[in-house]
Amino acid sequence: MRRPLTVALAALVPGALLGWIVYAAVGGPDGSATAAASPAASSPSPWSAPPPSTSAGKDGANGKGTTPAPTGSGTGPLAGKVVVIDPGHNTGNARHTAEINRKVDIGNSRKECDTTGTSTNAGYAEARFTLDVAHRLRTLLEAQGATVKLTHDGDSPSWGPCIDERAHIGNTAHADAAISIHADGAAQGDRGFHVILPGAVHAGGADTRPIVAASKSLGERVAGNFLRATGEQPSNYVGDGTGLVTREDLGGLNLSTVPKVFIECGNMRDSKDAALLTSGAWRQKAAQGISEGIVSFLHG
């Protein structure tokens, strides 16, 4: 994501993540930037994503495809829980600039339907990264019995969906947790992940007040487990070292009625971060950390 970050979560101090890591260790099992100071203990082999799962029942926001059908085993510790994964952007967006530049209502303003996202200097697109991590995350959550729905699965739909539709998919699924996966496009030297929390927005069709507290809990658990699993440090350019940022200008958060956060997994424009983001083994660690954060949140 390239949008400027507007509100830092100043109430949290840089040492907060350490507490979350301790919590994760003793307590059980979910815009843009990052670094791996110390790698995780294990290095899983790269995982190949399964073929997309789609449903013919519902068109996407653009009417040019179908949104992926929910999947899940129905058995396991997360049986009965619904998780919506939103892979940021879409590889087809660049071919549909007129469509994605159309403004949509996000409650307190109007913003573009979507953007193309960023890429590494070598051309590895953010949309490819986010979909790959989404597939890995889906597999991990399904293994625990969760019902998982993606807002899109690559070419289905062929562009978008728009940011308002991405929120709507989570809402209509009555998701117990939703997460939007991204990677940043900041300057060289800007490193570190951050999790974006919804601010308290009450304007137009947006009212995040009922989900702010739950989303914060989700975001804290995702951040702590992501740090532990990947060894990657919190952003050195937003969030004051906490790895958490609050924003009120993201339609995917403003229009959500279910607990939801964004995660910026790394800065694609920094050479050191790019080396991580383009590694299949590291992306598996990223998915593992996000999964463990979501599982911790759903277990309460």
pLDDT of residue 151: 98
pLDDT grade, residue 37 (50/70/90)?
A: very low
Contact 9, 244 (CB under 8 A): yes
Residues 59, 31: Cα–Cα separation, whole Å:
26
Which pairing describes strands 244-247 and 194-198: parallel, antiparallel, or unpaired?
Answer: parallel
Per the document, the length of the chain is: 300
* Whole-angstrom distance, CA of residue 67 vs CA of residue 167: 13
Q: What is the pLDDT of residue 300?
A: 84
Please write the tens of the pLDDT for every residue from 72-81: 656 789 999 9
Q: What would the pLDDT profile of 88-116 be if each residue is shown by its tens digit?
A: 999 999 999 999 999 999 999 999 999 99
Q: Name the residue among 203, 193, 182, 195 with its Cα closest to residue 259.
A: 195
Closest CA to 219 of 208, 231, 211: 211
Give me the CATH topology for the region 7-37+62-299. Answer: Aminopeptidase (3.40.630)
Q: Under a CB-based contact definition with an 8 Å cutoff, are residues 230 and 282 in contact?
A: yes
- Which pLDDT score, from 0 to 100, does residue 67 have? 59
Query: Where are the chain's structural domains?
Result: 7-37+62-299
**220 part of the active site:** no
pLDDT of residue 9: 34
Contacts of 95 (CB under 8 A, 6+ apart): 158, 159
Q: Tell me: the pLDDT tens digits for 111-140?
A: 999 999 999 999 999 999 999 999 999 999
Report the range of poorest mean pLDDT among 62-66, 67-71, 161-165, 281-285: 62-66
Is residue 185 within 8 A of residue 83, CB to CB? The reply is no
DSSP state of 109: S
- Say what the pLDDT of residue 12 is: 34
Helix (H) or strand (E) holding 196: strand 194-198
* Residue of 126, 142, 232, 264 marked catalytic: 264
In three-state secondary structure terms, 67 is coil
Note the pLDDT of residue 155. 78
18: which residues sit within 8 A by CB, 6+ positions away?
none
**Mean pLDDT computed over 189-211:** 98
Structure tokens given for 22: 């301790």
Q: What is the pLDDT of residue 156?
A: 82
Residue 69 binned pLDDT confidence (cut-offs 50, 70, 90): low
